[in-house]
Structure 1
Amino acid sequence: MSQTDKTPSSTEEGHAPLIEHLVELRSRLLRAVVVVLAIFLGLYAFSNDIYQFVADPLLKLLPAGSQMIATEVASPFLAPFKLTLVVAVFIAVPFVLHQAWAFVAPGLYEQEKALALPLLASSVLLFYLGAAFAYYVVFPLLFAFFTQTGPENVTVMTDINAYLNFVLKMFLAFGIAFEIPIATFLLILSGATTAQSLATKRPYIILGCFVIGMLLTPPDIISQTLLAVPMYMLYEVGLLMGRLVKRKREEREEREDATEE
């Protein structure tokens, strides 16, 4: 067989794994989309109830005679629709991450799998906790402040679409902020920095938490503090976790070295 005849065959063999990976990736993306759509269709009949639940922290604090309003023609339909879709994605996150894990897991070592899976589960749980903290702790305090500090001759009547954009931004901000322990833990574990080095930078971390709180929340000291303080506390949790795991890993390596000797 000539060299010319061999070349196409070898090229096809080289491309085969890539094509297989792309096909698998497409399959897992389609599964994730189908699950999100299925959850969305199941929730759509309750879209107004879901919006009512999300708006409840503000509705409870509106002055007598006030209510939420829709300033755009399509807002009464689009706002609950958009919220229901976001909730569907929110609920489907574990399944979506499972599909991502199933795609990348075959290429990982056993030690990496043992570490990655708990971190993945913890990151999902922390994101949910951040959103729950925003809803049950931050919103009541924040909306109480907003509704009570306005001029007496101004009636608070919030647009439903503007309110939805505001709360979604807050959910996302607190969900991401609650991932700080994972980020801190990974920085220590990967060797990018040390627990001792991070501990000496506490004043800068505190300042950074308040700067992030200022950027991600409305321009008031209450919401900034409600985001900055949990961020710093979670940073300390990540620092503690990193120290413990790093110490255990070093002790295990010392025992293995002693055994080899």
Structure 2
Amino acid sequence: MRKSLVSAEDDEIDKSSAPLIEHLIELRTRLMWSIGGFFVAFLVCFFFAKQLFNLLVIPFKWATQWAGLDPQKVELIYTAPQEFFFTQIKLAMFGGLVIAFPLIASQIYKFVAPGLYKNERSAFLPFLIASPVLFLMGGALVYFFFTPMVMWFFLAMQQSGGNGEVQISLLPKVSEYLSLIMTLIFSFGLVFQLPVVTTLMARVGMVTSQGLADKRKWAIVIAFVVAAVLTPPDPVSQIGLALPTILLYEISIWTARMIERKREQEKLASEKQDAEDGNAQQSQAASTPLEGTGSGTNAG
């Protein structure tokens, strides 16, 4: 008897541990796919690191042209023998992460999706697509507009020399320039996720459009504080990040209001359908005794 109880307890332990083992195996598979995709993307980016770096220098050339200088004479330097090598590794890691992000996001979704209801999966999928699109939009804003504007601001501080002035020229280091543009791309890409986050919170009822609108003043202050933390310490960078953040906050209020309207319409449609179903049941219940009375009369 005691042996049977012990064996039954062992079976229960095995059954309870089986789902955990399956989840760990699934997690291991998703991690292997994500790491493998990132590693392949890293190798490709490292192989083309110089071409990628030349691509990132193009906004600097635009800035020199805006400043009235020759864009063909753009010069960047490195002061340590290993600096440019590690800069290429850093660039390859950043590019590999950007390229592999869709694969990593899909692996996260495949791991989480079995635990979601069908309506939750359908609600989560659009955000999975919108997130990288918004990140790329933030990166494009940095590349085509913000970086040239910031570099033009720095180039304007140069002194040509003569008339008692010392000559001051801007010669950026490759590592510092890459760190600047990567910081800006990451900051703008992160800020551009604001509509995704607020829309998700509005869907689950954590925030409302009215609540977001009431906290607009605080949001403006926080936008400038975040811009001061994430961007280089110059007013052009801080204002350039704070203004899109405020605009995205207003878009978030609008999307939250749209979600609330849709939820209200669904609620009214559900109440109307329930009322129609109730009337139909009442009509059916009222007609049933009449049919029974008619059959009794015919039998008589």
Specify every segment of 5 or more residues in structure 1 that has no aligned partner in the other structure, as ranges: none
Per-residue CA deviations over 1:136-186 (Å, capped at 9, x if unaligned) read 110000000011124542221111112212221111100001011112222
* 1:4-43 → structure 2 map (5 Å cutoff): 4-43=6-45
Mapped pair 1:120 → 2:122? no
Give the paired residue count: 261
Does residue 1:241 correspond to 2:243, yes or no?
no
Cross-structure match for 1:213: 227
2:105 is paired with a residue whose SS is helix
Q: Does 1:222 align with 2:236?
A: yes
- Residues 105-159 of structure 1 show CA distances to partners (whole Å, capped at 9, x for unaligned) of 0110111111100011111111111111111110000000011124542221111
Q: Distance in 2 between matches of 1:187 and 1:31?
A: 30
- Say which of 144, 149, 160 aligns to 1:136: 144
Give the aligned partner of residue 148 of structure 1. Answer: 156
Kept in 2: contact 1:178–1:231 (CA 8 A)? yes
- For each residue in 1:19-58, what CA deviation from the matched residue of structure 2 results, as whole angstroms up to 9, or x when unmatched? 1111111111111111122223233331101011112222
Range with greater deviation from structure 2 (212-221 or 119-128): 212-221
Q: State the partner residue of 1:49.
A: 51
CA distance in 1, matches of 2:84, 2:229: 30
Q: Partners of 2:45 and 2:235 in 1: how far apart?
A: 36
Which is worse superposed, 195-204 or 150-159? Answer: 150-159
Contact 2:227–2:242 at 8 Å: present in 1 too?
Answer: yes
Is 2:106 aligned against 1:98? Answer: yes
Partner in structure 1 of residue 164 of structure 2 = none
Give the alignment's Cα RMSD to 1 decimal: 1.7
Kept in 2, the 8 Å contact 1:66–1:155? The answer is no
Q: Work out which of the residue numbers 81, 86, 97 in structure 2 matches 1:78.
A: 86
Name the % identity: 31
**Which stretch of the first structure deviates more once superposed, 12-21 or 34-43?**
34-43
Computing the radius of gyration from Cα coordinates, the structure with the larger value is 2
2:180 paired with 1:166:
yes
Question: Where does structure 2 lack aligned partners over 5 or more consecutive residues?
Answer: 161-166, 276-300
Rounded to whole Å, the distance in 1 between the matches of 2:75 and 2:236 is 24
State which of 195, 204, 209 in structure 1 corresponds to 2:218.
204
SS in structure 1 of the partner of residue 79 of structure 2: coil
